Amino acid sequence: MNRLRWLITLPLAIVLVVFAVNNRHMVEFDLWPLGLVVVWPLFVYVFLGTGIGLLMGALVAWISGGAARKLARERRARLRELEHTIETMQARLDAGEPKLPARPPALPE
């Protein structure tokens, strides 16, 4: 796994360094309504745009996974509840109490 990581990371890093070296000329970025002009090398703008895009994509993916996380939490809680019920019934059987009906509780859908 470590070698695979290096096989992917090293060529990507080389490409990024070559891109940064070839695009180091200064570019003006005018934030018109604020009257602010930022002058940075071109590769900084590209890296910032890529980074912001990655963060926004991660945020959208995390938000869209909310329903699945909620369902997993509900199922974990139900599983704990059922495990507790099983332990209680096993304790009753071990103590010699009469058996409960053989029908298990209904699962929510």
Q: Phi and psi for 42 in degrees, rounded to 5? A: -60, -40
Residue 93's pLDDT is: 85
- Give one word for 27, left, alpha or beta, with left for phi > 0 and alpha for psi -120 to 50: beta
Domain boundaries, the chain: 23-53, 67-96
Residue 1's pLDDT is: 79
Residue 59's pLDDT is: 97
Residue 65's pLDDT is: 96
Residue 28's pLDDT is: 94
Residue 98's pLDDT is: 62
* Ranges in the chain, pLDDT < 50: none
Nearest by Cα to 107 from 70, 81, 73? 81
What's the CA angle centered on 21, arms 15 and 23, to 5 degrees?
A: 100
* DSSP element (H, E) containing 41: strand 36-41
Report pLDDT digits (tens) over 38-54.
999 999 999 999 999 99
